[in-house]
Chains A and B, each alone.
Chain A
Amino acid sequence: MKSTSKIWLIVIFLLIVGTRIFLTMQIPSLDYEAYSVMRQVENIKQTGLPLFEDELSYSGRTHIFSPVYHYFLTIFSFIMPLELVAKIIPNILAALTLVIVFFIVKNLTEDETISLFTAGLSGLIPVFFNSTINNASIYSAVIPLFFLTIYYFISTLKEESYVTKLLVAMILLTIIHPSSFILVLSLLIFILLVKIQGLRESRRATELVLFFLFFVFWVNMIIYKKAFLFHKESIIWQNLPILLLTQSFAEVTFIETILAIGAIPLIFGLISIYLTLFKTKRKTLTLLLSVCASIFVLIWLQYLELFTGLVFLGVALCIMSAEAFKRLYDSSKLLKIEYASRYLLIITIIVVLIAFIPNINYFLTNSEARPLQEDIQAFVWLGQNSPKNSTVLVYPKEGGVMSFYSGQKNVMDDDFLLIPNINARYKDITYIYKQRFLTSAIETLNYYGVDYIILTKQTQEKLNMTDLMFVDQTCFTKIYPQNNQTQVPIIYKVNCVLNSA
């Protein structure tokens, strides 16, 4: 590796990390998903153990997950405030992906300029950027680790000395997150494609795949055994409520999907897929094609949440796009225009940067992804002005943040594993906000033992309403805001119990 490339790589890395941290600091709160991670990190910091038995989530439930990532974040929580840890560390981890992309592309094209360009491009994939910038997402660690494993796999095919590194990466990925199943599927498709394409079979690859297959299966069976037994086959969808599952696919248009990955990685990636299938027969490209194919199949069958799948697909396509871009770059060198290839590179970089600007704007203005300050104030107020262990009803995605700030029990949040009858619960909670009849509403509130109900400003905007329609003065007492303001979060105390008992 040339020293100039090294410097450029460091510069690109710092620029991407800097941009990410700068942007996330512009937002006072974290995204909704981050708060459940924060609660885990906080608990580890205080007790040394993760919160497997959670009294607040769903008014008491068992969490099932691998706490490796949370322990990693906890280390940093001793040297900086928790909110800063959630804003800085995941961004550094996510940005490391571009370093790995650089090495994979270098391995693929043996061209450091193209590698640097692709590395930069991978740092600006919109869906990856948005999914990992402000939510302390575990994918900030999973994505770089996933592609690091692929990098070591490619290297091991060429040289045996990488085996130990590959094994370490494989083991880490497996114990951190079940995404290792995606890699297993990719590797199986790779073995199949190698056979179909008539490439020379690598015994080493077969052995690694065999090992990884059994290892991933064994580890995940141990970690998630309880969830496997509880949810049976629906574990594949992580017990996601059907309404939410269908919404997540139905609400996204084709154009939005293209924009999520980015036009340049998508176009050049697709050209590379064509080249891999019909023109060039190279194992590295076949492996990357297998990753794309496995993710595509998983998204198509709705086994993988759309945006999570697009993150993996975006990075894989970005790496693949290097092959097509290199061909264009090399061809441009043959043109009679002086520095044509450089111009091409500069123009493409400018196009990528211009295309990325709306994404920054989207991130800064997308208030739906995170709680509003007024809502947070209401949660804090409730925590200080209500008896301990009260049950509070908020919209499902707000459950985690409400419990984090108020320390009160929620009826539902966004971790659905091991929760019985999840579809009915989700339907009940989302429908109650639109409920007109007092008796039906009280019935549902009694069923879940609700003491307080919050209508956040976020929910008011989402459902286009200013107050709950079923409330009356006998059964509900408006306790927040106290000065009868409208258009702010509203908290009601539930006073009534239906006369059934």
Chain B
Amino acid sequence: MKNEIQKNYNLLLILVILVLICVPIIIKTTTSQKTYLAEETYYHERMIQQIRADGITTLDNIQEQNISTNIFYIIFAYTYIPTNILIIIIPIIFAALSLLIMFKILKMLKLNEEVAKYGLIVLVISPAILYVFTVFSPKNFIYLMFLLTIFLAFKKNYWGILTLMLLSLTNAIIGGITLVLLILSYLLNYTKDKTQIYGCGLIYVLTLLGLFLFSKTNLIIDFTPTILGFGELFSEFGSLQGYTIMILGLAIIGIASWWMKNTERTTIILTISALFVISIIYPTIKLITITVFAVYAGFAIDYLIKREWILEILKNITLLLIICSLIFTMVVFNATILKTVSYENVLGASQLTSADKGDTILSSEKNGFIIQNLAARKTFLDGASYKYPGYSDKIIILEQIYYSKNLKNLEEQLQNNSIKYIFVDSEMKQNLWNNKEEGLMFFLINAKEFVKVYENNNIEIYRYLGEIKSD
């Protein structure tokens, strides 16, 4: 009877969590001004549409650069379900499956029921995971495959080898890290099947070999380190997929408070630290690290609740502060993600369809994917530019354009980079020019070489009238 109640309670918890996850999706789909949740969704949609139109390809037709052949796009391209439906349902389905598997893994680790629940709640509140659970992207697939591989390995089920292969095909780095974690769990006696570990090792090597032979771009993009700075590492600094300092703090308390053997503790601490450091250059690894942090944060919350406090008043205030911070994190995430793509930006981007094919459009990195998708035009930068060589040079050019004091130099830069259109939104005006007529903004408004071709509340599009150099 007690078990039944407990089971129902757990199910209810997962349902409540799912409802919480769905909040931004529901808000976005029920408003009249329909846009997708994050700008990267526009990129993934374009990739799926491109495969549907031209078959599997390694070239981005718009940006004219090599892209990786992602298994995620291939699967959904050939389902022929309309992309706008996929974008809504896939994150929810993958989130439900991931949560269920995560809960099963925590149970298999024989963790205290309370710790598992707290861990799961913290996990869902972590912005990076919340992002995976709400935004349509290959990360949905990566996270599910990662959890599934670990789960199947614990279950001694050989399907785990196949899931590791799929994971490695989607992201070779995450596949490698998962393999290392499996080896560590074998060494620490969490799993006992040697054959499976050998199988996983073999399949990983074969997958890498396959990628090397048939799609080098995948390997290059997966293994090229990207240093995005600490700003992109923590959600407090505005990253939608970053660590949360509060959860990090809780995880440290959790590790310190959880009793375990010295060797085990040292191995776990070293592994987590290594993962944290690697995640600075391979951001997708954050998904794994945050999952581990969330579990330890669960330990910390359990410890803080069960600990006998000498100053009882502090216990309640501290727990209240933690709860408030976690809720605050979730609310901030929802508010931020709902604002990432505004309807005006989408409307503005669709105006650029009339631009010539060879023209490049200058806007913020955030707007890149939206313009590429809706106007089918090339942008100077987008959210994936950092993965490609020449990114730092482009940033220098961008600074020179944005803060130009001299029209002649500005024109030279625009001509050299084939920039014909400049797409300015209110966020750019605020962050780049503090809402003043400075630099590029001054010339856009005052110089006769520029003409405003579109304007709405949020967006201004300018056309450069000078001749641009063709490649």
A contact residues vs B (CB 8 Å cutoff): 58-61, 160, 163, 203-204, 207-208, 210-211, 213-215, 217-218, 221, 225, 228-230, 232-233, 235, 419-421, 424, 443-444, 446-449, 500-501
> By the criterion CB–CB under 8 Å, are A207 and B314 in contact?
yes
- Return the chain B residue nearest A58 by Cβ: B434
Inside 8 A of A225's CB, which chain B residues have their CB? 332
User: Are the C-beta atoms of A59 and B436 separated by less than 8 Å?
Assistant: yes
* A and B contact pairs by CB, cutoff 8 A, 21 listed: A60-B434, A160-B311, A163-B311, A203-B309, A204-B311, A210-B253, A210-B318, A211-B314, A211-B317, A211-B321, A214-B321, A215-B321, A217-B245, A217-B246, A217-B325, A228-B238, A229-B237, A233-B231, A235-B237, A419-B434, A443-B405
Distance (Å) between the CB of A157 and the closest chain B CB? 11
- Smallest beta-carbon distance B129→chain A, Å: 20
User: Does B264 make an interface contact (CB < 8 A)?
Assistant: no
Tell yes or no: B20 within 8 A of A by CB: no
B186 within 8 A of A: no
Bound CA–CA A217/B321 (angstroms): 10
Q: Give the complex CA separation of A214 and B321 in angstroms.
A: 7
Most buried by A among B324, B405, B446: B405
Which of A228, A424, A443, A449 makes the CB contact (< 8 A) with B437?
Answer: A449
C-alpha spacing A58/B438, complex, angstroms: 12
Contact in complex: B311, A210 (CB < 8 Å) = no
Apart from A232-B229, A500-B443, what 16 extra A-B contacts exist at CB < 8 Å? A58-B434, A60-B434, A160-B310, A207-B310, A207-B314, A208-B314, A211-B314, A211-B318, A218-B321, A221-B328, A228-B236, A232-B231, A446-B405, A447-B439, A447-B442, A449-B438
Residues from chain B with Cβ under 8 Å of A421 in the complex:
403, 432
Residue on B nearest A62 in the bound complex, by CB: B434
Residues of B within 8 A of A203 (CB): 309-310
Interface residues of B, CB < 8 Å — how many? 44
CA distance A60 to B434 in the complex (A): 8
For window 432-452 of B, CB contacts with A under 8 Å fall at: 432-439, 442-443, 446-448
Q: How far is the CA of A410 from the CA of B447 in the complex (A)?
A: 25
B8, CB-defined interface residue at 8 Å: no
Query: Any chain A CB within 8 A of the CB of B313?
Result: yes
Contact with A along B313-333 (1 / 0, CB 8 A): 111011001101100100010
> With a CB–CB cut-off of 8 A, which chain B residues contact A214?
246, 249, 318, 321-322, 325
Q: Is B221 an interface residue (CB 8 A)?
A: no
Interface: B80 (CB within 8 A): no
Assembly CA distance A58 to B317 (angstroms)? 41
> Is B281 part of the contact surface with A, judged by Cβ < 8 Å?
no
Interface residues of B in 297-315 (CB under 8 A from A): 304, 309-311, 313-315
Which of A59, A210, A233, A443 meets B230, CB within 8 Å? A233
Report whether A420 and B318 are in contact in the complex, using a CB–CB cutoff of 8 Å. no
Smallest CB separation, A311 vs chain B (Å): 27
Shortest Cβ distance from residue B153 to the other chain A in the assembled complex, whole angstroms: 36
Contacts of B407 in A (CB 8 A): 500
Q: Given known contacts A58-B434, A204-B310, is B237 in contact with A228 (CB within 8 Å)?
A: yes
B431 proximal to A (CB < 8 A): yes
Q: Within the assembled complex, what's the spacing in Å between the Cα atoms of A443 and B238?
A: 34
CB distance from B332 to the nearest CB of A (A): 8
Give complex CA distance A61, B314 in Å: 39
Is B392's CB within 8 Å of the partner chain A? no
A233 to B234, CA, bound (A): 9
Chain B residues near A207 (CB-CB < 8 A): 309-311, 314-315, 318
Q: Do A501 and B434 contact each other (CB < 8 Å), given the known contacts A204-B310, A207-B314?
A: no
Residues 324-355 of chain B, each 1 if its beta carbon lies under 8 Å from chain A, else 0:
11001000100000000000000000000000
B403 in contact with A60 (CB, 8 Å): no
Residues of A within 8 A of B245 (CB): 217
Given known contacts A232-B229, A232-B231, A421-B403, is B438 in contact with A448 (CB within 8 Å)?
yes
For residue A501, which residues in chain B have a CB less than 8 angstroms away from its CB? 442-443, 446-448
Contact of A420 among B317, B432, B447 (CB under 8 A): B432
Q: Which chain A positions have C-beta within 8 A of B456?
A: none
Contact check, A210 vs B447: say whether CB atoms are below 8 A apart.
no
Is A60 touching B436 in the complex (CB atoms < 8 A)?
A: yes
Interface residues of B in 24-41 (CB under 8 A from A): none
Is B267's CB within 8 Å of the partner chain A? no
Task: Provide the bound-state CA to CA distance between A424 and B404, in Å.
Answer: 11
CA distance A203 to B315 in the complex (A): 12
Q: CA of A251 to CA of B419 in the docked complex: distance in angstroms?
A: 45
A232 touches B314 (CB 8 A): no
Residues on A with C-beta less than 8 A from B309 are 203, 207
Query: Shortest Cβ distance from A444 into chain B, in angstroms?
Result: 7
Cα distance A404–B361 in the bound complex, in angstroms = 44
Q: In B399-455, which residues have CB < 8 Å from any A CB?
A: 403, 405-407, 431-439, 442-443, 446-448
Q: Provide the residues of chain A in CB contact with B328, threshold 8 Å.
A: 218, 221
Complex: A501 Cα to B406 Cα, angstroms: 11
- Tell me the complex Cα distance, A421–B237, Å: 18
Is B313 a contact of A229 with CB atoms below 8 Å? no
Are A500's CB and B310's CB within 8 A? Answer: no
Please measure, in the bound complex, the distance between the C-alpha atom of A446 and the C-alpha atom of B438, giving whole angstroms.
Answer: 9
User: Which residue of the partner chain, among A208, A217, A232, A447, contacts B237 with CB atoms under 8 Å?
Assistant: A232
Cβ–Cβ < 8 Å partners of B439 in chain A? 447
- Chain B's closest residue to A204 (CB) is B310
B236 touches A221 (CB 8 A): yes
Contacts of A447 in B (CB 8 A): 405, 438-439, 442
- Given the known inter-chain contacts A204-B311, A447-B405, A448-B438, please indicate yes or no for A500 contacting B237, CB distance below 8 A: no
Docked complex Cα distance between A96 and B368 (Å): 57
Given A447-B442, A501-B446, decide whether A233 and B318 contact each other with a Cβ distance below 8 A: no
Among B318, B431, B437, B448, residue most surrounded by chain A Cβ atoms (within 10 Å): B318
Complex CA gap A210/B447 in Å reads 58
| A218 and B318 contact, CB distance less than 8 A | no
Residues in B neighbouring A217, C-beta threshold 8 A: 245-246, 249, 325
Residue among A215, A230, A420, A444 making CB contact with B433, cutoff 8 Å: A420
Chain A residues contacting B325 (CB-CB under 8 Å) are: 214, 217-218, 221
Tell me which residues from 270 to 313 in chain B have a Cβ below 8 Å from any Cβ of chain A.
304, 309-311, 313
Tell me the nearest residue of chain A to B322, going by C-beta: A214
Nearest Cβ in chain A — how far from B115, in angstroms?
A: 18
Could you tell me the distance in whole angstroms from the C-beta of A442 to the nearest C-beta in chain B? 10
B249 touches A229 (CB 8 A): no
A448 to B405, CA, bound (A): 10
B436 contacts which chain A residues (CB < 8 A)?
Answer: 59-60, 449
Given the contacts A59-B436, A211-B318, A232-B238, A444 and B405 also touching, CB distance less than 8 Å: yes
Q: Give the CA-CA distance A228 to B332 in the complex, in Å.
A: 13
Give Cα distance in the complex from A60 to B433, angstroms: 11
Shortest Cβ gap from B350 to chain A (Å): 29
Q: Would A424 and B403 count as touching, CB distance under 8 A?
A: yes
The docked-state distance in angstroms from the alpha carbon of A207 to that of B317 is: 11
- Which single residue of chain A is at the shortest CB-CB distance from B236? A228
Chain A residue contacts of B315, Cβ below 8 A = 207
Report the separation of the CA atoms of residues A49 and B435 in the bound assembly, to the nearest whole angstrom.
23
Q: Name the CB-closest residue of A to B446.
A: A501
Chain A residues, Cβ within 8 Å of B321? 211, 214-215, 218
Q: For B300, give the chain A residue with the smallest CB separation.
A: A210
Question: A444 vs B433: C-alpha distance in the bound complex, in angstroms?
Answer: 15
In the bound assembly, the distance between CA atoms of A447 and B404 in angstroms comes to 9
Q: Nearest chain-A residue to B311 (Cβ)?
A: A207
CA distance A221 to B325 in the complex (A): 9
Contacts of B437 in A (CB 8 A): 449
Once bound together, how far apart are the Cα atoms of A354 and B237, in whole Å? 49
Bitwise, B235-258 to A at CB < 8 A (1) or not (0) is 011100000011001000100000
> B310 → chain A, closest Cβ, in Å?
5
Closest 8 CB pairs of A and B: A232-B231, A501-B446, A233-B230, A232-B237, A500-B407, A229-B238, A214-B321, A443-B405
Residue of A nearest to B304 (CB): A210
For B403, the chain A residues whose CB sits under 8 A away are: 421, 424
In the complex, the answer to whether A232 meets B310 with C-beta atoms within 8 Å is no
Q: How far is the CA of A419 from the CA of B433 in the complex (A)?
A: 9
